[in-house]
Amino acid sequence: MSYIAPKDFSLDPALVERLMRTFSGQLDLSWMQSIRERIAARPSQPKRGLTLDDINQGGYGPEHIPEIIRHNFSMAPRGAILPNSLPSLGYRLNRKSEVWSDQAPALFEEGKSRRWAPARDIPWEALDSGGYSPEQDAAIRQLATSLVSIGLVCTDLPAKWETLMNQEFHEVKYLMCLQMVDSARIAEAFRKRALYGRGHLGVDCEPLGELLKMVIESGTYPCASASMNLTLFSLVQGLGRHWEWAARNHADAVLGMRLAQDASRFLAYGMDHLRNLVAQRPAERDTLNGHLDLIENGVVGWLGARELLEPLLLLSGGFQPVARLYEKTIDEYMARCEAAGLGDRRKRSPLPGFLARVLN
Amino acid sequence: MSYYGSTDWSASRDLVDRVRDIRKGNLDLGWMKTGTEQVEIHAENSRRGLIYQDLNRGSYGFDALPEVPRGPRGAAPRGAAYDVAHQADLAPELNRRSDVWAYKVASFTEEAMSRQWDATRDVPWADLDRYERPEEVEIAFAQLCTFFTEVEMIATDLPAKWLWRMNNQFHEVKHFIATQAIDEARHAEVFRKRALAGGVGLMEALPQAEHSLKAILDGDTYSEASAFMHLLAEGNILTLFRFSEFISPTPVDKRMFQLVMQDEARHVSYGMQHLKWILDHCPERKEQLHLALDEAENFTLNQFDSALFECMIVLAGKGTRPEQIKKGIEIVGVLQVKQVEEYFHRLRRAGFEERIERSKFREMMAQMALLQKDPALPA
């Protein structure tokens, strides 16, 4: 399986000769003429620093990326001079519309500027003041357990596709690295939340496990992006806001706020990516809608799971706030699907039917 | 290609009845009775905050992790209750602790999270105009930055390739790998920005370096790929970063190298500690690692792209006049020896000293008669 060199270079006299020639002072220096396009990018707003948008000029910018990459399968950076002998690194995502979002550079910049570390940026000692009944305390730890699972799988999903993505789309690849660390941070923060004080983890929620498996095993990158960025993170954002709303201490309020804020970036990329894809290749709309029909079936299973519903109910002080959370989250999700160019999903999605049957 | 679950929830009468029952206040609360271990967790050092090491208690801790965690294959966090038979199987492929683990990995992860920086704002880009740079030096620096932009992304793609195949029981390692991915994306970003801010732009991609990158990516196992990438390739890059800081044409560039070095040092340390863990716990895998490093060193030897060496010579000598070239060659010659010397030092620290005798670098260094210049190298 591994890539083997065509010869043993330690026994190659030609290599030694070349090295010795250089080290004896016989330099070629022809590479100094290899200047393709001169550029001296500067911060457009000095306070913000030098952003990706600032350097995306001329041939270095994404406007010149063709829809289908045929010229570069190596790690050579976009805009560099490409010698003929560059190897292929086996990329499988070589269509711009499969991955691209014009917002990716700005979202990457935003993610970096809003970085935080759970160890120090959550006022953990505020949890010592309590504020919850024993049942609510168990409920919040159970919800945190489920959020750890979500964080773990959402770390894996961008990793799974990142390796397969052509380097010409480096802004999207950077953003996927950010998604990995954002998701790992969700897992870290909520693990710490569950265990803090006299703490414990709860139980694995099987319908959530099934949903996460569906999301990560999506067969194409656009389907994976739709199911994670758009569907799953709509729910995560809703949970983050609800967590903040139900918080009885400053630590939980910050945790919920951070979760909702980070989720917004996943949503923004997912929506713009899908909008771009559907605009470029309208036939993809049917594939994506068909995929989401089935993913949303998994969402129904999770929304109806005791491991989600009962802790939410205990934490929220009754069923009505949870019903409102479900309705609002699904409503916003449907609006996002429409804004992403997927059309009105209300008629085909199992989610409105589920809500109607259980809430009315 | 996709997986769509084992239950059609939309047609499930049970689900609707259950939710209606809960709505009426009939709670089962079975999830409260799972009997997971209760632990007492607080931040031991308030200045550091609540870190992974503080969570290293009982069934939640990493000290209690067995070599083969039997059972968990899904998204259940380590220490949570789960049903082996009914968990959603995510089919992880790296299920042995020694496949991925490293001494101090939790500390590396926390360090990475606390030392995130931003290539947009933490490098004083606006100051670049304050420093005059000879044209030939700026061209050489643009070539060096093109090389760094090219190679840094391997250290996102390779860890990403293996991250999702790792069992979730090893979440500290997975988190470390995620931090490495963002670190390296940031490195590619900062070098691209520097090349495009300097007035020259990106220059030539380097084919020999690319063959090494392909060999790293195609490693048979995570540990073999890690030995090549973390220990050898990133180790060499770390030495090169130090050298580049030394020869940086401006304080702005020095700052850039200081920032990337601290990340790179962490990645190299993880690689060393992973190798040490394997050698301590699975010494039978030594020969497999030797074979992988035989080929890794072979690819590294062939990384002689004249554009890379020559740009370093021009930078080290600060120009292309004969006396500058002479000085540049002396400095780059020392760098070459230093890279090998530091690689051997890392092998020793990882407990893999026997590798040095077998290394392909020895023969090459001997042939180049550089060996005699540094008595620290084994004869």
Please write the tens of the pLDDT for every residue from A262-316: 999 999 999 999 999 999 999 999 999 999 999 999 999 999 999 999 999 999 9
> Is A29 within the bounds of a domain?
no
Total domain count, chain A: 1
Whether residue B22 and residue A57 make contact (CB cut-off 8 A), yes or no, is no
In chain B, whose CA is at the least distance from the CA of A105?
B189
Q: Does B35 touch chain A (CB under 8 A)?
A: no
Whether residue A80 and residue B126 make contact (CB cut-off 8 A), yes or no, is no
Q: Does B229 touch chain A (CB under 8 A)?
A: no
> Is B266 within the bounds of a domain?
yes
> Is B118 within the bounds of a domain?
yes
CB contacts of A50 in chain B (<8 Å) are: 119-120, 123, 125, 193, 197
Provide the residue range defining the domain that includes B139: 97-373
CB contacts of A208 in chain B (<8 Å) are: 75
CATH code of the domain containing A229: 1.20.1260.10
Total domain count, chain B: 1
Q: What is the pLDDT of residue B306?
A: 83
CB contacts of B326 in chain A (<8 Å) are: 25
Mean pLDDT of all residues in chain A? 96
> Is B310 within the bounds of a domain?
yes
CATH code of the domain containing B322: 1.10.620.20
Closest CA to A329 of A253, A252, A247, A263: A263
Residue ranges in chain B whose pLDDT is less than 50:
371-379
Q: Does B311 touch chain A (CB under 8 A)?
A: yes
pLDDT above 50: residue A324: yes
| Residue B358 CB neighbours (<10 A) | 11
Q: Does B77 touch chain A (CB under 8 A)?
A: yes
A277, A98 Cβ separation under 8 angstroms: yes
CB contacts of B83 in chain A (<8 Å) are: 204, 206
DSSP structure class, residue B38: P
> Is B10 within the bounds of a domain?
no
Q: Does A353 touch chain B (CB under 8 A)?
A: yes
Q: What is the pLDDT of residue A19?
A: 86
Considering only CB atoms, A35 lies closest to which of B79, B82, B203, namely: B203
Q: What is the pLDDT of residue B310?
A: 96
Those of residues 172-191 in A touching chain B at CB distance below 8 A are 173-174, 176-178, 180-181, 183-185, 187-188, 191
Whether residue A118 and residue B363 make contact (CB cut-off 8 A), yes or no, is no
E strands, chain B, in order: 39-41
pLDDT above 90: residue A360: no
CB contacts of B22 in chain A (<8 Å) are: 306, 309-310, 313, 319
Q: Show the 3-state SS of chain A.
A: CCCCCCCCHHHCHHHHHHHHHHHCCCCCCHHHHCCCCCCCCCCCCCCCCCCHHHHCCHHHCHHHCCCECCCCCCCCCCCCECCCCCCCCCCCECEHHHHCCCCHHHHHHHHHHCCCCHHHHCCHHHHHHCCCCHHHHHHHHHHHHHHHHHHHHHHHHHHHHHCCECHHHHHHHHHHHHHHHHHHHHHHHHHHHHHCEEECCCECCHHHHHHHHHHHCCCCHHHHHHHHHHHHHHHHHHHHHHHHHHCCCHHHHHHHHHHHHHHHHHHHHHHHHHHHHHHHCCCHHHHHHHHHHHHHHHHHHHHCCHHHHHHHHHHHCCHHHHHHHHHHHHHHHHHHHHHCCCCCCCCCCHHHHHHHHHHC
Q: Does B251 touch chain A (CB under 8 A)?
A: no
Whether residue A207 and residue B9 make contact (CB cut-off 8 A), yes or no, is yes
Q: Does A242 touch chain B (CB under 8 A)?
A: no
CB contacts of B149 in chain A (<8 Å) are: 77, 80
In chain B, whose CA is at the least distance from the CA of A356?
B16
Of A26-35, A109-118, B301-310, where does mean pLDDT reach its minimum? B301-310
Interface test with A, best of B1, B3, B132 (most A CBs within 10 A): B3
Considering only CB atoms, A31 lies closest to which of B5, B164, B203, namely: B203
> Is A310 within the bounds of a domain?
yes
Q: Does A38 touch chain B (CB under 8 A)?
A: yes
Whether residue B38 and residue A204 make contact (CB cut-off 8 A), yes or no, is no
Work out the minimum CA distance from A100 to partner chain B, whole angstroms: 17
Whether residue B77 and residue A149 make contact (CB cut-off 8 A), yes or no, is yes
Q: Does B316 touch chain A (CB under 8 A)?
A: no
Those of residues 41-80 in A touching chain B at CB distance below 8 A are 41-43, 46, 48-52, 55, 57, 60, 74-77, 79-80
In chain B, whose CA is at the least distance from the CA of A212?
B75
Q: What is the pLDDT of residue A328?
A: 98
Whether residue A15 and residue B304 make contact (CB cut-off 8 A), yes or no, is yes
> Is A342 within the bounds of a domain?
yes
Q: What is the pLDDT of residue B378?
A: 39
Q: What is the pLDDT of residue B370?
A: 52
Q: Does B171 touch chain A (CB under 8 A)?
A: yes
Q: What is the pLDDT of residue B287?
A: 97
> Is A39 within the bounds of a domain?
no
pTM given for the model: 0.97
Q: What is the pLDDT of residue B374?
A: 45
| Chain segment B190-222, per-residue pLDDT in tens | 999 999 999 999 999 999 999 999 999 999 999
Those of residues 273-292 in A touching chain B at CB distance below 8 A are 291
In chain B, whose CA is at the least distance from the CA of A121?
B49
> Is A275 within the bounds of a domain?
yes
Q: What is the pLDDT of residue B363?
A: 82
Work out the minimum CA distance from B256 to partner chain A, whole angstroms: 13
A146, A308 Cβ separation under 8 angstroms: yes
Please report the number of interchain residue pairs, chain A to chain B, with beta-carbon separation below 8 angstroms: 488
Considering only CB atoms, B39 lies closest to which of A89, A195, A203, namely: A195
Provide the residue range defining the domain that includes A342: 135-359
Amino acid A124 reads W
The encoded tokens of residue B184 equal 């390296």
* pLDDT category of residue A1 using cuts at 50, 70 and 90: low
> Is A338 within the bounds of a domain?
yes
Q: What is the pLDDT of residue B372?
A: 44
Task: Give the three-state DSSP class for B204.
Answer: strand
